Amino acid sequence: MSKLFSPATLRGLTLRNRTVVAPMCQYSAKDGFANDWHLVHLGRFAIGGFGLVVLEATGVTAEGRISYGDLGLWKDEQIAPLARIVDFLHSQGAAAGIQLAHAGRKASTPVSWHKDLSEAEKSTLGFEHWTPVAPSAVPHTDTNPEFQTPTALDAAGIRNVIDSFAAAAIRANQAGFDTVEIHAAHGYLLNQFLSPLANKRTDEYGGSRENRMRLVLEVTEAVRAVWPADKPLLARLSVTDWHPDGWQIEDSVALARELKARGVDAIDCSSGGFDGAVIKAVAGYQVHLAKAVRDGADIPTMAVGLLGDAHQAETILVDGEADFIALARAALDDPNWAVHANHELGASNYDLWPNPTDRVRERDRSLGLRSFAAN
């Protein structure tokens, strides 16, 4: 059996394989509520054989949403439609995760395909616009007016962020999720506190690396305190800002050690999110980041970023560069990526196909495909 399609255990959760659907914002919710779009979009990945499906960046507060179309978990009423999705993912053998997020100064941005909305359309889509909060009153960029100048969080605002992450984690557990991922990447709020590019504070949350790490560690402690001990906790980091004045790989290794000490079970290793980053996106361009964190902090990692080739994914795991392979766009392109990759890596059975799709095997036999190919 390939390593990619061997089971993996984190705490009390055993994944059927090591393929993960990375969180993907759909900008298709209204007032934070999941709907049929989310069920069908996410359900396809469970049918398609993935081990873990992680739901998109989900606002822990309304003001923490990237847009008015984000999912949310800031009120109890938002639990039930998410529980419906979790139940479906479970029914198809996939584990269910959700990314808990606060966008900070990158909040309240438009949904790109909602152009020139009429008042009636705004009402239908749940359009909202608000002033974001951030570590410092510095906008994400000066060149794009979609990003506003945020209000700097005061002590009460910071406390509210911590409490909101914990409250959302409690709701995620009530919805039945197997894991939550703390979003500390991509230039959103927790990443803004980590990075000297966005954090200009002079209190105990700014200045030294230790101070800049304080909020994400306090959020992690608060989430771990309410998240069941038998369920794994994930964190997504931008392992590097790809910027000479920003957060660096060695900073992430130091942070990952602290996260591990506070009960984080795996680090999802992404990168970037700040203006001025210089990124060369080629196949597997972030794999070395997963390896650096894995080796440096002795913690399981997820590799992500242009990883659609099954053999490359297998090699990453066999070579010990990462423990899980996460896909976003490749999964959008082919929601059955996992069942297909399993065959590519030599699976001789069709066990990963759901029963109602069994007749693919018959087709393959007739055409001499996959395990029926002539040698």
Ligand X SMILES: Cc1cc2nc3c(=O)[nH]c(=O)nc-3n(C[C@H](O)[C@H](O)[C@H](O)COP(=O)(O)O)c2cc1C
Catalytic residues: 188
Instruction: Give dist(CA 228, CA 292) in Å, integer.
Output: 29
Whether the CB-CB separation of 338 and 345 falls below 8 Å is answered with no
Backbone CA torsion sign across 341, 343, 347, 353: positive
At position 138, the amino acid (one-letter code) is V
At position 214, the amino acid (one-letter code) is R
Q: Is 186 in the site for ligand X (CB under 6 A)?
A: yes
Contact with ligand X (CB under 6 A) among 73, 134, 185, 213: 185
Instruction: Give dist(CA 98, CA 86) in Å, integer.
Output: 10
Nearest-approach distance from CB 208 to ligand X, in angstroms? 26
Instruction: Give dist(CA 308, CA 321) in Å, integer.
Output: 16
DSSP per position, 167-210: HHHHHHHHHT-SEEEEEE-TTSHHHHHH-TTT----STTSSSHH
Q: Is 327 in the site for ligand X (CB under 6 A)?
A: yes
Query: Collapsing DSSP states into helix, strand and coil, what is residue 118?
Result: coil
User: Which residue, 233 or 350, has its beta carbon nearer to ligand X?
Assistant: 233
Nearest alpha-carbon partner for 309 in 340, 350, 352, 272: 340
Q: For residue 298, how many C-alpha atoms fall within 13 Å in the half-sphere facing its CB?
A: 2
Contact with ligand X (CB under 6 A) among 159, 311, 329, 363: 329
Q: Is 24 in the site for ligand X (CB under 6 A)?
A: yes
Contact with ligand X (CB under 6 A) among 199, 270, 301, 336: 270
Nearest-approach distance from CB 116 to ligand X, in angstroms? 22
In the region spanning residues 34 to 63, those forming contacts with ligand X, defined by CB under 6 A, are: 56-57
Nearest-approach distance from CB 207 to ligand X, in angstroms? 27
Of 104-112, 147-155, 290-298, 324-332, the segment contacting ligand X by CB under 6 A is 324-332
Q: Is 18 in the site for ligand X (CB under 6 A)?
A: no
User: Which residue, 200 or 288, has its beta carbon nearer to ligand X?
Assistant: 288
Nearest-approach distance from CB 303 to ligand X, in angstroms? 10
Of 90-98, 133-141, 142-150, 322-330, the segment contacting ligand X by CB under 6 A is 322-330
In the region spanning residues 113 to 172, those forming contacts with ligand X, defined by CB under 6 A, are: none
Q: Is 86 in the site for ligand X (CB under 6 A)?
A: no
Alpha helices in 182-283 (DSSP H): 189-194, 209-226, 249-261
Contact with ligand X (CB under 6 A) among 140, 183, 231, 260: 183
Q: Is 201 in the site for ligand X (CB under 6 A)?
A: no
Q: Is 25 in the site for ligand X (CB under 6 A)?
A: yes
Q: Is 272 in the site for ligand X (CB under 6 A)?
A: no
Contact with ligand X (CB under 6 A) among 78, 99, 136, 336: 99
Q: What is the DSSP letter of 107?
A: -
Instruction: Give dist(CA 295, CA 125) in Å, integer.
Output: 45
In the region spanning residues 227 to 266, those forming contacts with ligand X, defined by CB under 6 A, are: 236
Radius of gyration of the chain from its Cα atoms, rounded to whole angstroms: 20
Instruction: Give dist(CA 210, CA 217) in Å, integer.
Output: 10
Contact with ligand X (CB under 6 A) among 51, 284, 305, 335: 305
Q: Is 109 in the site for ligand X (CB under 6 A)?
A: no
Element (H, E) at 295: helix 287-297
Count of residues engaged in binding ligand X, rule: CB under 6 A: 20
> Binding residues for ligand X, per CB under 6 A?
22-25, 56-57, 99, 183, 185-186, 236, 270, 304-307, 327-330
